[in-house]
């Protein structure tokens, strides 16, 4: 850590996408608020992320832009938001063309997130895995170390309305005798999805234990979820494509465990301190996208071809898809039992 701590009177934090990455910024916001209780801390993100920050007590102002906004629209929004504001520090955790345009002239002190392109290339193409790795949240925190930020040992935050009212971050778990399990069977890239047949076998086994099953995900996951819903004909609750991020968090909040591919749902579960079984296929935890400071089990297979990507692919480059095909239902079921007692 840099020994020279730089004081600041106002901070702008920028992270535009995606859901998981945005959630991973929340520890830094908490840490900065604790260091600077009276400093103005503002966040610039996309409209899809409003729920994540809406009730977060650590920020003062939330600015949003359209995710697919063009250069002209972004310039217009930037003038609307920041013409009369000069921040002491701008923290750009997106660090791409759009964020650079939006941050221009907002501050003389710009802190950029290191996207570690060489590190990711070594992982993907040379399969060079480090002995230890840093979670992305810790790397975000390191980006602002000149402000005194360092990891505090706490997790992600997704504040719900009731948390704001009682000014206390406390998730409300299900205390029923029957377990409630939330499953996220989808993912934008197919190489990050456990085959649906395995989810079918897993759900059948959990239903046999009298567990309550709910399925969640985005609109892109509707087809997969619908197939599962039809298979079990009213025995499971299918909320896929119907919920806001906050509503998804509320359902996850009451669950005993979440089973998820390497997607945003995994991070929402971590933020609500709901135990999560995370299934990693083409990606690996060394990329840093792990459930942060929460209760979890990662199930993955050590293969010479992993990782084949740092984000996901439309199909397996080797055609065997062993990274997911070799994951057994028994492994997942055992992990659920371990996490739920």
**Listed residue (187, 157, 179, 176) closest to 55, CA to CA:** 157
Residue 191 in contact with residue 308, Cβ under 8 Å? yes
pLDDT band at 2 (very low <50, low <70, confident <90, very high): very low
Contacts 24+ apart (CB under 8 A), 317-323: 321/191, 321/195, 321/281, 323/191, 323/280, 323/281, 323/282
In whole angstroms, give the CA distance from residue 182 to residue 206: 11
pLDDT per position as a tens digit, 97-127: 999 999 999 999 999 999 999 999 999 999 9
Residue showing tokens 């009731």: 162
How far apart are the C-alpha atoms of 268 and 248, rounded to whole Å? 8
Nearest CA to 158 out of 49, 239, 289 is that of 49
The tokens for 119 are 């590190």
More confident residue, 274 or 6: 274
Q: How far apart are CA 331 and CA 334, in angstroms?
A: 5
Where does 21-60 show beta strands of DSSP type E? 40-46
Instruction: Say whether pLDDT at 206 is over 70.
Output: yes
Domains of the chain: 10-157 (3.40.50.2000), 180-340 (3.40.50.2000)
Q: Are 128 and 107 in contact (CB under 8 A)?
A: no
- The dihedral formed by the CA atoms of 297, 299, 300 and 302, expressed in degrees to the nearest 10: 80
Cis peptide before 307 (omega within 30 of 0): yes
pLDDT digit string (tens) for 130-156? 999 999 999 999 999 999 999 999 999
Using alpha carbons only, how large is the chain's radius of gyration in Å?
A: 20
- Measured between alpha carbons, how far is 277 from 37 in angstroms, rounded to an integer? 36
pLDDT at 173: 66
d(CA 22, CA 53): 9
The reported pTM is: 0.94
Q: What is the pLDDT of residues 37-48, one digit of tens each?
A: 999 999 999 999
Give CA–CA dist 111/106, Å, rounded: 12
- Give residue-wise pLDDT tens across range 250-275: 999 999 999 999 999 999 999 999 99
Rounded (10°) angle between helices 329-340 and 196-208: 40
Q: What does the pLDDT read at residue 162?
A: 84
pLDDT at 79 over 90: yes
Question: Is the predicted pLDDT of residue 53 greater than 70, yes or no?
Answer: yes
Q: Can you list the positions of beta strands (E) in the chain?
A: 10-14, 40-46, 61-65, 89-92, 110-112, 180-184, 212-215, 237-238, 257-261, 276-279, 296-299
HSE-up (13 A, CA, CB side) for residue 46: 18
The alpha carbon torsion through 42, 46, 50, 54 (nearest 10 deg) reads 0
* Averaged pLDDT, 175-191: 90
Burial 55-75 (b: 16+ CB within 10 A, else e): bbebbeeebbbeeebeeeebe
Phi, psi of 10 (to 5 degrees): -160, 145
């Amino acid at each position: 850590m840099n020994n020279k701590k730089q004081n600041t009177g106002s901070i702008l934090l920028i992270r535009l996408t995606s859901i998981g990455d945005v959630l991973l910024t929340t520890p830094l916001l908490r840490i900065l608020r604790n260091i600077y209780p009276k400093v103005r801390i503002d966040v610039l993100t996309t409209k899809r992320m409003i729920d994540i920050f809406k009730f977060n007590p650590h920020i003062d102002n939330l600015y949003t832009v359209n995710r697919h906004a063009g250069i002209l629209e972004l310039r217009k929004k930037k003038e609307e938001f920041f013409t009369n504001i000069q921040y002491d520090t701008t923290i750009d955790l997106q660090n791409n063309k759009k964020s650079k345009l939006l941050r221009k002239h907002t501050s003389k002190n710009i802190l950029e997130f290191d996207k570690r392109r060489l590190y990711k290339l070594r992982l993907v193409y040379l399969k060079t895995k480090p002995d230890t790795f840093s979670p992305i949240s810790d790397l975000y925190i390191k980006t602002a170390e000149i402000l005194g930020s360092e990891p505090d040992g706490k997790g992600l935050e997704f504040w719900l309305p009731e948390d704001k009212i009682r000014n206390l971050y406390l998730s409300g778990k299900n205390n029923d005798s029957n377990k409630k399990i939330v499953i996220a069977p989808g993912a934008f890239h197919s190489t990050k999805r456990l085959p649906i047949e395995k989810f079918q076998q897993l759900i059948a086994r959990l239903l046999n234990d009298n567990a309550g099953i709910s399925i969640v995900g985005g609109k892109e996951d509707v087809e997969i979820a619908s197939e599962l819903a039809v298979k079990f004909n009213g025995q499971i609750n299918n909320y896929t494509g119907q919920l806001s991020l906050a509503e998804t968090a509320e359902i996850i909040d009451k669950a005993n465990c979440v089973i998820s591919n390497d997607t945003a749902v995994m991070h929402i579960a971590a933020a609500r301190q709901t135990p999560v079984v995370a299934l990693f296929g083409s990606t690996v935890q060394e990329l840093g996208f792990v459930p942060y400071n929460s209760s979890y089990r990662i199930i993955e297979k050590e293969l010479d071809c992993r990782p084949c990507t740092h984000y996901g692919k439309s199909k397996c480059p080797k055609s065997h898809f062993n990274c997911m095909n070799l994951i057994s239902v028994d492994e997942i079921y055992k992990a659920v039992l371990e996490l739920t007692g």
